[in-house]
Each structure stands twice: as structure tokens, then as C-alpha cells.
Structure 1
């Protein structure tokens, strides 16, 4: 636990930092703690939110059941989290959830596919192959509800963001921004190079679990035709 640091976020949250680099080993530690807190929250805990290198834990200071009366509420929460980190219940061996995302690449659904191919001196089919032949790790969800930050894209597809962002990108759009790829769950502004679109709904506030993807999941992209997209969209 020498690499782990604790930082207060006001009087109702604490950030547990696992380091400064984005890598798979730290990601597994972050997901492990998040899952354990979801399964066994301490009294007063509201939510655990994972990010690239940390977990921020929100709690109600009025509802925390203190175990160490000689400590402040914040220090008490730190001690309870440290106990969970030291627990044998923190396991990194749980298999991740694998989700296949159908994507219609190019055309009206991927208006920037041609530009991305031209930038890398590749054919459009090469871009599709490189993008869909990888497995991606969901490192965190944010920006807009359900937006997944994915790691694992081929370096050969790293493409600068647009100099002028679009005012509105359709929900389901799959884009490349720098060395990352992501999916827009909702219509929103954005500067990614849009190479395709999925008919799947990534965010639905009417469901008990409104987001399709969560941190720790594995994403695979599956190319589909425009006809398949239209049929899927109709369903």
C-alpha cells in the first residue's frame, strides 16, 4: 500500500490515489477496490467513482458509523478504507464483463473515416480492421453520462482531434481523439474524429443501471452494414 495516497475532497468525499500513470496493473487495483466498496459499503458511504488513477468515495459525514472515536470523521473513513484494501476479499481475479458493440463504419455514420484513413495513409478498410480487431478496457466513465474512456487502441490510429469541434455529435457515434477512442452515449458537442456509429443505446435513465458500460468492462467492436444498422435501430 506504499503507493496509495488519500486526499480529502471537502467534508463529504475522499480520493484514493493509486499513482500517476495509466496502466493495467493500477486499473485492476482501482476496479478491485470499487467492486468491494459496491458490495460492502461502509455505513454512510454514498458512491465510489473510479477514474484513470484513483477512486473518489462520497459519503455522508452525518451517517458514518465511526470505529475510532479519537479520530476525525475523515480519518475514520481513511482507516475503514485501509482495512478494506488490506482485506483478502480485494481480488483482482474476477473475470471482466465483455461487451460487443456493433458499429457501422463510414458513410453518414462515420463522416471522418476518410480523413482518418488519409491522415495515416491507410485504406478505409484498414482503419476499420485496426479499430475493430482490438479489445478495449473501459478505464472510466464520464464527460457525459455513460461516456466510456477506452484504452487499447492501436497507435497506428492515433489522430488529432478536430481544430473546430462539432456543435452536435449524434448519440452512438464512435470517435478517435488523439490516442483514445470513445463512444458518445448522448448527442453532444465534441472534437473527436467520427468514424462510425452504433445502434446500441449506451445510456437510458429509465433503467435501474442506466449505463451500458462501466469501468473494468472489456469492449469489442463488430463492423455491421448500414442495412444491419437500420434494422437494429428499428428494433
Structure 2
């Protein structure tokens, strides 16, 4: 039940974000600060909850190779979405968000295997924080392009359901899988998340909040470190 609750909360951030983007507006620098803080938290979470645990079941070269593979695949798919759909229209935006969110939520689900929810609080919290402004900006852009607020909300709700399914699949489908396979999937997802930080999260944060981005990243990293210690 706790696992399901964590997944619902992180995915619901997309719906809350869409409501935020449709009906409320925060200054760009505040949104940028939140995005940068979430990115800093994800750095800690990816290392502590995904990569380091995999060293128990995979050799070092296997961990490094799989992380690099996840980064390469994400970067290639992200480039394809950008070339094919650009930054215009709801479909391209939703594909980009889904491409970013699926590895994050798959990583969340697989990280919860054999771990109490408190042990991955930093990962769940950072995904929640990154989903909020991402959905807010996306919904606002859809409305500016002529879509109704109701349509934007329904589209983002659909993405939230899809990402919830990815997280639940990462947990229940892999619960009885061999530890080696779980380690491979975690490392592959970690590589994809790291690539998304470099190509999506930090550039967006710097564009919106250049003066405070470095501090926000440090704050997010510190909060994630503190949360991770609660599970010890």
C-alpha cells in the first residue's frame, strides 16, 4: 500500500502541475529554482538508490556500461522527438515529457523493491518536484497554442496515468526477477535520468533562474542527502 501511495503522489504532481499552469502563474525564476532543486536531489537519489546498490550484483564495468547505455538511448530518442515534433503542438510536448518520465518512474518502482518507502523518499520527492513545474509549463504552452484548459488537464492526466503504470510495472513486474536483471534495469534507468538532467532539467532551470541555479542545485542535493539518511 505504501508503494502504491508513493507512486500515486509522484505521478499526481503532473495533474497538480497542469492545474497550476492552467489557472495560476508563478514567476519564472521561482519555477526555475524548483526545477534546479529537483535536479540536485535526483543526483543523490540516482547514485544512492540506483547505481550504488547495483554494484552488489554487477561488476563495475557492467554498471558503467549499462549507465552509459541508458544515457545513449535516452539522448538518441530525445533528439529524435525534437527533430520529428519540435517544440510545437501537444503531441511533441507529451512525447518529450513521457520520454523523460518513463525512466524516472521505472527507476522509482524498481528502487522500491526490497526497500521501505522512506529509503527512496529523496527519489520520490525529487521526481515530484520536477514533475510540478514541467507539467505547469507544458499546460500553459498548450493553452497559449489554442487548446482549452480542460483538454490540457485531460492530456496531462493521461500522462500521469501512463507514468504511474511505468512505476507500478517497475515494482510488480520485477519483484520476483533475478537481482542481476533488476540491477541492469536500475542502471539503465539511472543513465536515462542523468541524461535528462543534462539535456532538459538543468538547461531549463538556468534559462529561467540563472542567478540562483547553482544554489538551488546544492539545496536539492542537501535535502536529498538528509532524506536518504532517514532510511538508515
- Larger % of helix: which? 2
Q: Smaller-chain TM-score range?
A: under 0.3
- Larger % of strand: which? 1
Larger Rg computed on CA atoms:
1
The structure whose RCO (Cα within 8 Å, separation 6+) is larger is: 2
- TM-score using structure 1 length: 0.25
- TM-score using structure 2 length: 0.26
